[in-house]
Structure 1
């Protein structure tokens, strides 16, 4: 499990460790890891031209000490001060190692092979200061590799928001722990490839973390596996209420995801039964209403629903319900909170904005805040779709889960319908709502990568790739 922590928690852990170490030892650990990462990116350190963009705080000190290490290995290192003062010890170390302070920042940047962003780091708020903007733009335009120290300057470490100009890094070397802004868009797009340097604070960080990201081993532990005595009903039955005369394909795609999600059977209820049976004859089809379709362990409602009735039956049921797409328009927060069983909502940014009564751009700018607010307001598990999918639990203090296994090619019609069916099937198979949503997002993104391989793909191709993604995550071939 990859975890991320708030700035205040990281700083508290650092302070506790610094109290046990000689003065400056923690900064030297960070600088050593940073210099090593830069050396790897450069390939050949001797003769390389490195420019340090140095702010006033400890972030600038990390950059200066790392620059001194590179200078001792033969790199030409130039510091560009961008604060009222610079770290005296770091600057002294750089000069003694043969580095220098730039007379002309822009001339130095024009010749740079690598630029270290040590302007603000995790303490920054509200974008770059105006005097730093032209220098940062020159660094980006130079063609040099841009490496952020701990966090790209100008992005918010705790929320992932980017308010104003910020450094766009090719790589970020972060210390001690991941910060939420490194894993959540829009800030994630500014971080590039992220490398974590262990500086010894792991045991001093609080539990639980602020953010979690599942990895293969975590997903493997969560995937439902039938026992020898299992039958299709013991494995769970998921009901799908989706599609309409206008959108029959949404029903087909939701069923496609559900059939590959671990439940033993799929009941489809709605007007697109003929289209569903033509593609998936193993589906149990009923014309409706949902309350008369038979027993299920979870419902999925919403994809392509339009004005098809049935939502009232589903929301009144005593089993977990996943609500997507058109179903989200029917929701009343008080009614959702009063449900006797869990609810999972799966909006994209536009749908989340409608539920929150705000603008889509507000949700996209502060995705972490938005998913938490939705989960709290509706008392539901919320999966906020996007380039990084977020899953929030309604209980405060439970870490938000973030998933980035997808690909931009996944932004295609019907892919969300497949995701809904998959997540609903995992619910019916017995996974807790947060686990079902985050596992589904992981497999869905992994399947999309396998299906796309750098080319456009369709939602059906994502559904077809789900068994291979499942095998990948489980770490074994199917028996």
Structure 2
């Protein structure tokens, strides 16, 4: 599990560790990891140029000590001191190693190290930092811990900020590394282990080993009903494709049976495309809403009357007006959640973590907020961020496949929180596999789901 902790958690863990270590040892660990990451990006050391942008915080100290290590390897290092309170030990170490401090007019570097603002900073960058960055356009940036100016605990952006090529973080990921829009500013995130002892994280990201452990796998004398039956109430005469794609996601083989309930003509199309799908009967989970049109409200009420876990998607979301009376997963994109909460889409996109948590509490169910990094929020505040996927996944009908997949996992026995996060991870991985040869459509994602499962460790 990739864990993302808050600044408070990190600071407390660092204080406990520093009490057991010689003075400065923790910063030296961080600086060594940072220096190696910069060298990896540069590809070589001798004669290369590095510019350190240094503020007054400890990450400025990390940058300076890393600069000293780089200078000893033959890198020409300049440190632009943006504060009179730059770390004095770091400044001395850099100068002793042959590096130079400046207050403007840098040589054109091969790499910039962002040590401007530490993880305790608030708000966007000051004007002097913005001006310094403007002198090195197009140069790759390695951010220390998080890109300066981003909301470390929120994943939000509030003014000018650094957009990094690589972010080197220490001890644990921070929320900004996993949650957009800040995560998009981090580039590739490299974690350096510095020995922190941390509590459970408020934001997590599943890794392949986690998905493999959570995914139901049939054993022994199991029969199809024991593996779970999912019902799909989706599509309409106007939108039959939504039914076909929802069923395609549900028919990925991860539960024992799929039932389709809907328009007779659509049901015929579903059976032609998926002959293994059967008609009405008892289910362990429902998927409702995609392409449901004017009948989506009736279908939602019928599904919720069964009291089984339910995926509520698309048209059915407009009929959710309070706490959901059954275990449920809501699957809105930013526009749909904006309508549900009476907000603007831009507000949801600017603060997705806050809004996903608010919606999960308001509707007393799991909310899967679709996006570049999809967020799965529980009513208690826990969140998982999905980092699998590809831009090609922004394709009509892909959400229908996701809803069916999550429904199958609910029927197979996963909790709504696990079903939503595992389903989102597999959906993104399937899209990545399907897009290896170029563009994709939603049906390609459904067909790639078995391959996504086979890619897991131990499968």
Query: Structure 1 length as normaliser, TM-score?
Result: 0.93
1:447 and 2:430 matched: yes
Q: Which of 423, 427, 447 is the equivalent residue of 1:464? A: 447
1:372 paired residue among 357, 364, 367: 357
Q: Using the TM superposition, give the Cα deviation of residue 228 of structure 1 relative to its aligned residue in structure 2, in angstroms.
A: 2.8
1:412 aligned to 2:404? no
- Cα distance in 2, alignment partners of residues 147 and 311 from structure 1: 49
Q: CA RMSD in A?
A: 1.3
- 1:252-307 C-alpha deviation (Å, 9 max, x unpaired): 0000000105111111111121221121121113xxxxxxx321000000101101
Equivalent of 1:226 in 210, 218, 222: 218
Rounded to whole Å, the distance in 2 between the matches of 1:181 and 1:344 is 25
Secondary structure of 1:284's counterpart equals coil
Pairing 1:423–2:416 present: no
- Provide Cα deviations, 1:294-333, integer angstroms capped at 9, x if missing partner: 2100000010110123221112221111100001000121
Q: 1:352 deviation in Å?
A: 1.1
Q: Secondary structure at the match of 2:114?
A: strand
* Offset at residue 83 of structure 1 (A): 2.4
Q: Deviations over 1:49-96 (max 9, x none)?
A: 110000011111110111011111211110111224211111111111
**Which residue in 2 is equivalent to 1:326?**
315
Please list, as runs of the form range in 1=range in 2, the aligned pairs for 1:351-370 lying within 5 A after superposition: 351-370=336-355
Partners of 1:103 and 1:137 in 2: CA distance = 14
The equivalent residue for 2:255 is: 263
Instruction: Summarize the Cα distance change of 1:449–1:406 in structure 2 as closer, same or farther, 3 Å threshold.
Output: same
Confirm or deny: 8 A CA contact 1:261 1:423 kept in the other structure. Answer: no
Q: Is the 8 A contact 2:289 2:299 kept in 1?
A: no
Q: Deviations over 1:174-218 (max 9, x none)?
A: 0111001011111111111111111111xx211x21111111111
Aligned to 1:251: 243
Q: What is the alpha-carbon distance in structure 2 between the residues aligned to residue 103 and residue 179 of structure 1? A: 31
1:235 to 224, 227, 230: 227
Report SS of the residue matched to 1:327: helix
Cα distance in 1 between the residues matched to 2:103 and 2:412: 66
Q: List, as ranges, runs of 4+ consecutive aligned residues in structure 1 with deviation greater than 4 Å.
A: none
Aligned residue number for residue 74 of structure 1: 74
Q: Which consecutive residues of structure 2, in runs of 5 or more, have no partner in the other structure?
A: none
Match of 1:121 in 2: 118
Partner of 1:311: 300
Question: Partners in 2 of 1:421 and 1:62 — Cα distance?
Answer: 47
* 2-structure distance, mates of 1:84, 1:112: 23
CA distance in 2, matches of 1:117, 1:59: 9
8 A contact 2:81–2:103 mirrored in 1? no
* 8 Å CA contact 2:104, 2:132 repeated in 1: no
Q: Per-residue deviation at 1:247?
A: 0.5
SS of structure 2 residue aligned to 1:28? helix
The Cα of 1:245 is off from its aligned counterpart by: 1.3
Which residue of 274, 280, 284 corresponds with 1:297? 284
The 8 Å contact of residues 321 and 424 in structure 1, kept in 2 or not, is answered as: yes
Deviation at 1:144, TM superposition (A): 2.7
Alignment CA distance shift 1:454-1:123 (3 Å) = farther
Q: Is 1:148–1:172's contact at 8 Å kept on the other side of the alignment?
A: yes
In structure 2, what is the equivalent of residue 289 of structure 1? none
Report if aligned partners of 2:82, 2:103 keep a CA contact under 8 Å in 1. no
**Cα separation, 2, equivalents of 1:448 and 1:191:** 23
Aligned to 1:288: none
1:276 aligns with 2:270: yes
Q: Where in structure 1 are there 5+ consecutive unaligned residues? A: 286-292
User: Hey, what's the Cα distance between the residues in 1 that align with 2:420 and 2:202?
Assistant: 18
Aligned-pair distance for 1:40? 1.6
Please give the alpha-carbon distance, in whole angstroms, between the structure 2 residues aligned to 1:227 and 1:34.
46
